[in-house]
Amino acid sequence: MRQTRSKNVGITLFILLLLTPIYWLLNMSFKTNQEILGGLTLWPQNFTLDNYAVIFTDPSWYSGYINSMIYVSINVVITLLVALPAAYAFSRYKFLGDKHLFFWLLSNRMAPPAVFLLPFFQLYSSIGLFDTHIAVALAHCLFNVPLAVWILEGFMSGVPREYDEMAYIDGYSFPKFFVKVFLPMIRSGIGVTAFFAFMFSWVELLLARTLTSVDAQPIGAIMTRTIGASGIDWGVLAAAGSLTIIPGLLVIWFVRNHVAKGFALGRV
């Protein structure tokens, strides 16, 4: 009985610690700058939606969300298109240097983004990809593809090879078997992979900020450049931060079952 109560208290405290910054962010987003800087209040004394109005009416703000969604979506699609056949090859075939190649892929994922910042910047500037959505998407693929291959390889290894053999006996071509038979069997792995690819690309700031300037600038970079002549607009910044959380929550909601299965089956 005491052990159960201790667990409940611990879980409650943990949830409160997680939700407190989110609540404070929402609380600030409904306040004016004067109230935010005037003192500590647990809820808005002069409730206002002006901060959100600025986000939805000022192109310099809402374009950041559009840019972020564009390059994140491109990144997720490219990551899955590259990682799915690569993971299948690692899970089904043995070839010279396969373990070393697999380790090399993971070692790329372990490197910090700052290591590749200068090469990406010089390369994209020279070929005309600087400040484009595809530039950020491709840069993020360097980190997402290795992780996606590693996750998907674990799910694919759990599918018996007999399914492949039976499909070929039944006259299935490889593309037909892969799309209609194999991929539905690992849909949980695909959901988990898409989730992690989305989250990394959505929250990554260093590459996204350096490789863009105006046309493809993400919301994270815009939020770091909010200092004007009158100082920092804390209310607008809080509103922008609150809206930034929503896409992540939606993705978690749609793939929650797949993520739970991923934790149960391993490789997550």
Cα gap 122→119, rounded to integer Å: 5
Rounded to an integer, the average pLDDT of 74-88 is: 95
Give the count of beta carbons closer than 10 Å to the beta carbon of residue 211: 27
Q: How much of the chain exceeds pLDDT 70, in percent?
A: 92
Does residue 97 form part of some domain?
yes
Assign residue 173 the CATH number of its domain. Answer: 1.10.3720.10
> Do 14 and 78 sit in the same domain of this protein?
no
For residue 230, what pLDDT is reported? Answer: 60
pLDDT at residue 132 is higher than 90: yes
**Structural domain total, the chain:** 2
Per-residue pLDDT band for 266 (boundaries 50, 70, 90) equals low
> Do 40 and 74 sit in the same domain of this protein?
no
The torsion of the CA quartet 74, 77, 79, 81, rounded to 10 degrees, works out to -140
Query: Which token pair is 82?
Result: 């590259």
* Model confidence pLDDT, tens digit, residues 17-45: 888 889 999 999 999 888 888 878 888 88
Domain closes at, from 10, 25, 48: 48
Does residue 79 form part of some domain?
yes
pLDDT at residue 267 is higher than 60: no
User: Which residue from 137, 82, 236 is spatially nearest to 225, judged by alpha carbons?
Assistant: 236
> Do 39 and 91 sit in the same domain of this protein?
no
pLDDT at residue 229 is higher than 60: no
> Do 14 and 121 sit in the same domain of this protein?
no
pLDDT at residue 55 is higher than 80: yes
Query: Which token pair is 96?
Result: 């010279």
SS3 126: helix
Cα gap 102→118, rounded to integer Å: 25
Report the Cα 186 to chain-centroid distance in Å.
Answer: 20
> Do 87 and 149 sit in the same domain of this protein?
yes
- 66 vs 258, residue with greater confidence: 66
> Do 146 and 81 sit in the same domain of this protein?
yes
> Do 188 and 239 sit in the same domain of this protein?
yes
pLDDT at residue 200 is higher than 80: yes
Does residue 232 form part of some domain?
yes
Does residue 86 form part of some domain?
yes
Cα gap 78→76, rounded to integer Å: 6
> Do 136 and 181 sit in the same domain of this protein?
yes
- Structural domain span for residue 16: 1-48
> Do 26 and 69 sit in the same domain of this protein?
no
pTM, two decimals, is 0.87
